Amino acid sequence: MSEYDFSRTIVELINNDTGLDESSLDLISRGEEFMFRLRREVEERIQLENPLYGCGSCGQPVVIRSRKFSQNTHSMYFKHMHKSGDCPIKTDSNYTREEVQCMKYNGAKESKAHIELKNYIASYLKYDTRFADVRVESVIKGSGWSKKWKKPDISATLDGRKVVFEIQLSTTFLDVIVKREMFYKDEGISIFWIFSDLSPESSRATEKDVFFNNKTNALSIDKDSIARSLDSGEIVFKGFYKKPVFDVTTNKIQEVWDSKLVGFDDIKFDSVSHKPYFVSFSELNEKAQKDKEAEKIRLPLKEFKRLIFDKDQPYTARTSCAKSLHKVGLYNGMDIYSDLLNLSKALMSIKDGVVHFQNQKDKWAWLVNYVWQHHKCYWLVLLYVVDTYGRADMVFNPANNKLQEKRKAFKNGFKRDPEFNQKTEYYPLFSAMFPEIGDKLKKLM
């Protein structure tokens, strides 16, 4: 015969102090001495009308009972108190699974930790001028014909927008969560799910569901956020989010969890779901894609820049560079000719604020004339580079009338005069060399 009678115990318990789930099997397996002490504590807490453990299914207080099955051994188990109310795990129960979930959810809401957290948040909101009508556990009725209602932990208005806070300490309440999200969405109310001491890497599937439903943003309260709140006088959360990052070693975009402290000024709301978020996954994803793109072209560009600054590179270096630029979609020729290298050198000079041509130190008029005479079909790129890197006064000496006339002539004739027709062949390459003007050039391609 087994030392412990696992068959008759209530397995899932809720610890009313922490609000967390505990397994009675874990407790029982800690041995007889531990269990006798725990039983004493459980009894005392029931007498004080502040039970330590509730049944994980109905939340009603549970007691520990033992059965003697040999001279010196007892079998311990958790059970409902005598004359307890209906519970879904009782064999004659009338409750549906849905009702059980709601009961568990409401049971968890009565835990000490839950109440503390609720009061903690509400106390800040009441003194926060961005919030009004801060109410704890106030009923929200569905509008129109809806007979539904909900009692969120906290309800308020944030800059005129209706918001509610639901604290989520534990366990598997996915059904309840999804229902709540739908109700609030229908009512045009934004819902904040607040966790406690969250660590996404090790979190349960349910908590993850809330993240994913929330643009992978989750708000938690932990010692960092509490310290910052105290410091700043307004409530701050630890915000967790999933961040796509480009990993150079694997050449792949990977998603990692990251966190930062988040105040209400960082919160935005989705216009369709009304859900709050503080980090836009799609923006981060876009950035990761750009990083990936940049890494792809990094080496070919480096090769190209070497050619620009070292005229004595052999023919094979030029064709090999043309090939690698072609591979990443930046260039179409078989060779790289000196006119492209010189034009690129002129543009690089403007960006760097240094004339890179030999024996032409500070001769900006010379450089501009060179581009005007030999590369007028890329004049627009020159103007963009001058403008973007703030080089107008240096490159176009205001006292040099001839230069100023050229600028004016282009401005007036551009798009009308065939003399000023612009070529776009090198735009992909120039977009990569000067990412700041990339968007402008892409529009013209």
φ, ψ (nearest 5 deg) of residue 284:
-65, -35
- Smallest distance from Zn ion to CB 25, Å: 16
Q: Given the complex with Zn ion, which of 89 and 174 has the nearer CB atom?
A: 89
List, in sequence order, the alpha helices (H) in 171-219: 174-186, 205-213
> Please, what is the end-to-end C-alpha distance for the chain in angstroms?
82
CA distance 4 to 77: 8
Q: Given the complex with Zn ion, which of 92 and 231 has the nearer CB atom?
A: 92
- Smallest distance from Zn ion to CB 86, Å: 8
- Smallest distance from Zn ion to CB 73, Å: 27
CA distance 395 to 387: 10
Cβ–Cβ under 8 Å, residues 242 and 257: yes
Q: Which amino acid belongs to residue 101?
A: Q
- Smallest distance from Zn ion to CB 10, Å: 7
Q: Given the complex with Zn ion, which of 61 and 300 has the nearer CB atom?
A: 61
Q: Given the complex with Zn ion, which of 87 and 395 has the nearer CB atom?
A: 87
CA distance 61 to 50: 9
Q: Given the complex with Zn ion, which of 87 and 235 has the nearer CB atom?
A: 87
Distance of CA 290 to the CA centre of its chain: 18
Which CB contacts under 8 angstroms, 24+ apart, belong to 198-206? 198/222, 198/238, 198/240, 200/240, 200/257, 201/257, 204/171, 204/172, 205/172, 206/171, 206/172, 206/173, 206/174, 206/177
CA distance 330 to 434: 13
CA distance 217 to 277: 6
Q: Given the complex with Zn ion, which of 86 and 234 has the nearer CB atom?
A: 86
Which residues contact Zn ion (rule: CB under 5 A)?
55, 57-58, 87
CA distance 200 to 217: 10
- Smallest distance from Zn ion to CB 54, Å: 8
- Smallest distance from Zn ion to CB 79, Å: 9
- Smallest distance from Zn ion to CB 59, Å: 7
Q: Given the complex with Zn ion, which of 55 and 297 has the nearer CB atom?
A: 55
- Smallest distance from Zn ion to CB 146, Å: 31
Q: Given the complex with Zn ion, which of 60 and 157 has the nearer CB atom?
A: 60
- CB atoms closer than 10 angstroms to residue 251: 10
CA angle 224/230/234 to nearest 5° reads 100
CA distance 432 to 429: 5
- Smallest distance from Zn ion to CB 62, Å: 7
Q: Given the complex with Zn ion, which of 58 and 347 has the nearer CB atom?
A: 58
